[in-house]
Structures are given as C-alpha cells and as structure tokens.
Structure 1
C-alpha cells in the first residue's frame, strides 16, 4: 500500500479558516495605525502653516499672508512663493485627502480642514485653540492671534538692512548721552545744531546753514541756500553759496569763493589775489546803490555816483546830451555846428544849454 503525503482537504480548510480569522482580527489595527500616522502628520503640517504665518506677519509690519488679496484665502500660496519660501510641499490638502483652507481677520489667522470620523477629536487634541466647526463633515478650525512679541519687535531698531524699512527708522529723538557716532558715510539732515566745533572734509547744505560759532572746513563747502556765520570762517578749499552769505567775523577762503546771491561781511575783507568785477555797465547808465562797483566791457572800473555809473579816478567816456537842462555832470563841452549864439552855463551843480541851430553837446561824469 502506497504512503500519502501532504494535507487533506479538511486540514487545508482548517488552516485557511485560522488565517482568515487572524487577518480579520489584525486589519482594524493596521487601519488604525495608518489613520494615526495621518493624524500626526496633519497636526504637524497645520502647526507649520501657523508658524510660517507668524513669521510672515513679523516681517511684513503686522500683515497676515494673503491679507492684501482679501481674507487670506491665498495664504499658503503666498508663503510658498516667497524668496526664500516659508513653506514647501503640498500643504493645501491634508493627509486625509481633504482641502486646507485659510482665513484671517485683522488680529487672527485660521485654518479650516476636514478630518474623518473618529479622528477629528484626536487632531483637535493635538492642536491648541482648535474647535469643531461641523460635526457632520468632521471639519475643525484652528485659530491663532497676533504674536505676543509683536509690539516689542515693532519697537526694536535692527542693526541690519531689513525688507521692512520701518525696522531701520527712528520715530523719536536719538539720545547718545554725550557718546560719539562714528563710521558715518553720508549724513543727510534737515538741520544740524552743533554747540562745539564741526570738522568735515566736505560739507554740503541743501538748505540754509547757520553756525553760531566759528566754521572750519578743511575741504570744499557747498551751500544751496543761505549761509550765516556769527564767528570766523576758515575754508581751506573752495566755497560755493547758492543764496546769500553773511559773516560777522573774519572770512578766509583758500580756494575759489562763489556766492550766487549777495555776500555781506561786517568786518574787513582781505583778498590776496585778484578781485574780479563781473557786472558790466555802460558809462552814464543809471545805478541805484551809491559806491557800488562794476566795470565797462573794456575792463575799466566804474562806481555808482549820483545815480549814474562813473569812471573811477577821472571822467567817464563822453555822452551826447540834448535839451536845455543837461543835468549834473562833471564836465560838458560844446561843439559848434550850424547856427550861432550857443553857450553852456554851470549853476548849482547843473549844466544848462542855450542857443539855436544844431546842438552838439557832450558831457562827462
């Protein structure tokens, strides 16, 4: 009789039944482990979005991500598109396959997402400030407020260049307790009030400059407005004043001194080089300021006397005049033309002409 090897059908059926019972018992646990992993990741990703929203608000003057477009609906996309990005990966859908929605008010930021049955409570317990919005759809909402450190961050002055310029801007007076400020490249100010000495290689004032003491400039000086110095002024370079200049002490400029307005010096003024007169006038032309200096186009100096430009150190060039009362001149000459009985007379500082025929009279200042 031959021996039989293997299992009988009855034995095999028993084994399969046992395996089926084991599979039925273990499947729920496997599913539970998968759901637990999904819930843990959902908690972590939600916390990532909230942390990134806080960072964004700090960097952007208290504005939530996506608030500019309205209600922060695009917050996740906005933070992913930053450079460098605050978020990476697909965070707009959670691990349960449901969408993640963001919203905000002026002071709060919220995340809404649907979980699955029996696991909404698990996720809610892992996220602070989370509430159940819809029990039928297992939808939960996590909400945070503005960061508690936000007021302190707004009041700090950053030592580095920030994207938010307000973090580098003073909104009050800077008190240094008599300490120094050094390593300044360019200084731009509306007004500078210095009680002591001011030393600079180059000084440019786009408005008025007023110095209560002495002014020493080792380089060039350029003032677009007016300049007023109540003490002495010493400039080793060039000086250019766009408006008026008033110096109540001594003024010494080693280079070129240019004043586009008027210059007033109460003390003595010493010119070591040439004094050039830029105003060109005509001899005998009217003038307003007695003693004012100018020159002819030929270069001869002129001064204002008796309301007319007059040559210095002599008489002016001849001016032909007509009429009977010729005015106040130094000298008048009569050149005979046609006709007779012509004469010139001088009385009380005035010249007079009388006669008939052609009048040819030249007068000089």
Structure 2
C-alpha cells in the first residue's frame, strides 16, 4: 500500500457539513418533522398525476436542461428565456454560482445566521466568507454595505431570512442594492417568495431587470410542495445566466421533477390557497406563543423563529421528547416549521407547559 494515498482538498477541512438537525434520541410515538421547512400538504393532485405519467419514461434520460420548464418560467415571469437558469433545487444553482463566479481569495459578504449553504459554497470555491451579524433578528444592511471592500466579488442575501424568517422589505432592499458596486454580484434568495406577500414585499424578478449584477433564486421546494423532487430556478442577465448553465450538471432536473413543476405552475390559484392556509396557521401559532410570553419575530416564511439563546438546546430536546423535531441552532434559537394543525397544537401545548415551568 502506498504511504501517500490520495487526499481530499485541504479546503474541505474548514467546510461545515450540512446537517439539517443534529442527531437526537428517537422520540416515542408519532414524530412531526418541523425541522426542514417542508410543506405539510402533499403535492397538488395535478402534480401527482404528472408524476405518475412521467414515471413511465424513467428508462429515458431527461433533457440536458429542462427546456419545457424554462420556457414556461420565462413566460410566467415575463423575462427572456436567456435569463432563466435551473438546477436541482436552489442549492444546485448555488453550486453553479460558486463554480462560475468565485475564485480563491474572493470575499463574499453575507448575514449570519442565514442560509447554511452560504459558508459551504463560499469555502468550497476557496473564497473568503465575510459574515455580518444580524441586528436583532434581521439583516443589518448598513453593516453589510460597509463590509464590501475592493476584494468583495459577491453578496448573498436571503429575503426573508432563513432561519429567522424576518424580512428587510422592498424599500430597504432597493436602497441596499443601489449601494452595491456594479461589479459585485448580488445573489438574492427568494425561496419563500410565495409566503412573503404585501405592499413592502420585494419582487426580485422585477428588481433584476435593470440590475445586471443581480441574480434571483426561487424554488419549487417550499410553497409548491415538491421538495423531494429538487427543482430550483432563477433569473439573471444573459452573460451570468449562460455561465451558470455551463456549470450545471447535465440532466440535473429529472423529467418527473420537470413535469410536476409544470403542473404545479398551471394550478397556481389552488397553490396560493394552500399557501394562504399555511400562512394563517403560522400566524395562529405565533399569536398563541406570543400570548404565552415567548418572543417570536414576525415571519414571511413557512416557519417561526424562537430566539432562545442558551436555552435552545434544552427546549429542543424537550420538544423532541414529545415528538416535535425542530431545527436547533445551539446558543442561538430554534427554527420551527409550520406543520399541520395536529403538530401545531402539540407545539403550542408543549411550549405552554415549558413556559409555566420557567
């Protein structure tokens, strides 16, 4: 055996593994998955029918790119087809961005805590993460702007933010974008776009039209309930979009995923009714927990954030013991997905008991 076997790249030593939920003792009885921000509703009937039809052709490769879906998205969003990018979830497009747009030593500014893929993508490219602490539970846009230096090549921004669910709003986002130098790429993650509606909710697709340095990402995983099929998409101006397509894994979006996404787009009215129901549950739970004395920031997503600080681990363990699997950020807080009414009622009851014991 060789004394010098192949070794992975040294940069991997500093890259955190993506672990959605640290291992915990198994809960007894029914467990409710409230740690991955999944849609509690099954796919729409039309999407399920499309999945069934497409499954009969899984002996064949899908297209190199999901051209039919890209065309439908271009028409829906009112953008040229050359602006549309796709990938296996928005995480897949992040990998394309890292390959296409980052070089070793580049600085990338993002808020923290935010989407856990950010440091992975940045460090994988050999770039340098510049993490700007949230102010309260929200992006500190002034501090992020101040963190941009001549070495900055990219800014990553999650609106609303994951894991806190908070939003900076359209006006604040526009002001921030206007301060970013034109040569710095801004990646705006709108994974929860359908949940964040209202007069102050930004629309990244509209913002990108006159901003060549803006890439906007969305997904079919959250509101559309297709997390298991992995379909993400985005818009960017042609030079950047073309570069991202060059870095895409061929056939990365399966035919089943493409056909399900197309069916979900066609049933958007039904989808938005479902989203409204989830948002109503979110507000019901938030109001109940606030009435118990818990601090729960407003959310523009399908989850809630409990900033529990040092109590996060203990509360997460007790919730898990009662069958509620939540995402714990040790020493910071808990991210709790809005589940079905049964799970949400149990969450309210368990936290009421914990509050009474404090």
How does the TM-score come out when normalised to structure 2? 0.17
- Specify which structure has the higher proportion of helix: 2
